[in-house]
Amino acid sequence: MVKKRTLIVCSIAILISFLIHQFNLYFIDFALMDLKFRIGPQTSPSGKIEIIGIDKKTITSFGGNVDLQSHLSLLKSLKKHNPQAILYLKNVTELKANKKLKEKFSKEVAEFENFILGLEITPLKGEIENFRPKTPFEKIPYFPIYYTIDTTTWAEDDVSRRTLLWYQDYQYAFPYLAEKVTGKKWNEYRGIFDQLTSKQLHTDFRRPGTYKVWSMVDVINDKVEKDLFKDKIVLVDVITTEIKDNLKTPYTRNRYDTSKLEVHANSLDTLITDSAILHSPKWVNLLLTMIVAILTLFIVLNMRPTKGILALGGLFFGFFFISYLFFAIFRIHIETAHPLIVVFLSYYFFIPYRLIKEARSSWEYQQKNRLLQQVEELKSNFLSMMSHDLKTPLARIQGMAEIALEDPDRLSEQQEGAIASIRSSTQELTELVTSILDLNRIESQNIKLNLQSKDPNSIVTDVVKRCSPHAKVKGISVITELEPLFSIKMDSDLIRQVVSNLVENAIKYSPDNTKILVISEERENQVIIQVSDQGIGIKGADIKNIFMKFYRSKDAKSSPIKGSGLGLYLAKYFVELHKGRLTVDSVLGQGSTFTVHLPTDL
């Protein structure tokens, strides 16, 4: 049954996982990935990139017109720093200038080993020549460069997350420049994936402000450190507050926090550090979703509500934390949207099922409990009625048997034996009926202590005197060693029943011609009553059970000695009502000692 239930739960979890994976949850998954960016450590920048901004300060300094002459001055200043490469993201070839200035600029560019003009274009196959700069700039090296935004694909939230490496058989600027540092070809970096006819990777972004922006006018005026750009890749572009010059990133949804120039710097540095974000394969995502679904269903269907909610919370945050560690340490993004959604769906769909099931079980339990209460009440009433109705005829039979035995007319030996047997049997039945009545009172919680000051020795003496005839029949000597005791508060009837049970059991289970020792003493504010015999003893396995209701050991059941299995149960219960305890020590074949501990200050 358990295996079948487990199989059903696993099958449902797998089905839910397959169904959920049919839905695109990029908008949640990439939002969670962005959260990991924001709360986690960032990859250290390579230190190989510097960016120069045509910023407000520069524009103001040049009277609002940063012309080709200004850019020529920038190139002359950069020549002093000996940069490894320059990526010009501003298309200076479109600036108005006379032919002489253009030729002069082209000549200056030619003196740089790695000057690249990055054009924001996405040329189709065979169209790249259409974008070549016009004379006299035709010899300037140019590459397509483009920023990606998740608009109609992926998360569809206008956030830039990807770097374009290759499109329509054309290599883009970033892998070309990164090769100057790493020596790797464009297709040797980690995390490259196909997107339509392009090759892309997910950018490993750094926080806004990681790359310091040097003002173009400060570079021209040599207001920067000497050799600041030496052996560096320098990116040059316009930085303004216009929407077209800024982008949303995983770190911020405010479009004005990160310039397009910084986004390009992150893309290039992702290649240089080879730290592109890897995404776990689809089969791994599906497998993890199945595991989370199975755990969720087992929690929902088996745990109590409070513990279940805590366990689900632990599963939810535990899974996210593990995926966060993979991202923070290895830059691997484990898809978290589907597994986390399955936790919510499984909870909200199966909690009502469990509530209905528990409500039905509760109703069935209440019905069974009500029926059991009725049966218990009937049993108690029946036992009470039968016990009371039996006591009177039993007392009459016993009385008549005793009268017959005391009759002066001589009875035959056979008649005396029969009447004695009748008296003995009625005595056993009377004791059984009394025990049943006491048990009924216990179960109905009708027993109340009738506390009176009483000398425990007087009770012990009365019990020993009453049991002496039975002991004499078996030749058993009952020896008493009773210390003088002060009276204590007790229910004398119940304690008398306790002592009677212990003494009668000692006589009953002791061989003929043995001794029984009954002692009493006061020890550590307790009255101790002890009954020791030389009987058959009790097995170790039975000692822990002898105070159980209706319990009789196998040896006792197979012996001719009769018993109900209630005597010791009632004795222990009555002693504990007095805030005392009843203990036993026994050695098999040597005898048993039962000890009653009664407090003196009840």
The 10s digit of each residue's pLDDT in 159-186 is: 999 999 999 889 999 999 999 999 999 9
pLDDT of 491: 86
Interatomic CA distance for residues 246 and 259, integer angstroms: 4
Nearest residue to 33 via CA among 333, 328, 278, 318:
333
- The residues, ordered by sequence, that sit 6+ positions from 216 with a Cβ below 8 Å of its Cβ are 52, 53, 54, 55, 58, 66, 70, 74, 236
Interatomic CA distance for residues 600 and 580, integer angstroms: 10
Nearest residue to 553 via CA among 518, 516, 577, 584:
584
Helix-then-strand count for the chain, H and E: 17, 19
CB 478 within 8 A of CB 467: yes
Interatomic CA distance for residues 194 and 534, integer angstroms: 94
Give the number of other Cβ atoms within 10 Å of residue 317's Cβ. 12
Q: Give me the phi and psi of 525, to 5 degrees please.
A: 60, 30
CB 176 within 8 A of CB 141: no
Interatomic CA distance for residues 308 and 152, integer angstroms: 40
Which amino acid is located at 489 in the chain?
K
- 3-state class of 144 per DSSP? strand
Interaxial angle between packed helices 413-443 and 567-577, expressed in degrees from 0 to 180 and rounded to the nearest 10: 50
Q: Side-chain half-sphere of 379: how many Cα atoms within 13 Å?
A: 12
DSSP label at residue 131: G
pLDDT of 531: 92
CB 440 within 8 A of CB 383: yes
List, in order of start, the domains of the chain with CATH numbers.
Answer: 1-39+294-446 (no CATH), 44-274 (no CATH), 448-599 (3.30.565.10)
Length of the chain: 602
CB 260 within 8 A of CB 245: yes
pLDDT of 374: 65
Which amino acid is located at 221 in the chain?
N
CB 483 within 8 A of CB 520: yes
Interatomic CA distance for residues 300 and 92, integer angstroms: 64
- Intra-chain end-to-end CA distance of the chain, in Å: 54
Ranges of residues in the chain with a pLDDT under 70 are 1-2, 355, 358, 374-392, 394-411, 413, 415-417, 419-421, 423-446, 550-565, 602
Tokens 């409070």 -> residue: 306
Interatomic CA distance for residues 533 and 586, integer angstroms: 10
pLDDT of 431: 63
Interaxial angle between packed helices 456-473 and 492-508, expressed in degrees from 0 to 180 and rounded to the nearest 10: 30
Tokens of 579: 């805030």
Which amino acid is located at 143 in the chain?
F
Interatomic CA distance for residues 163 and 205, integer angstroms: 11
**HEC sequence for 221-268:** CCCCCCCCCCCCEEEEEECCCCHHHECEECCECCCCCCEHHHHHHHHH
pLDDT of 110: 92
pLDDT of 61: 93
pTM of the prediction? 0.64
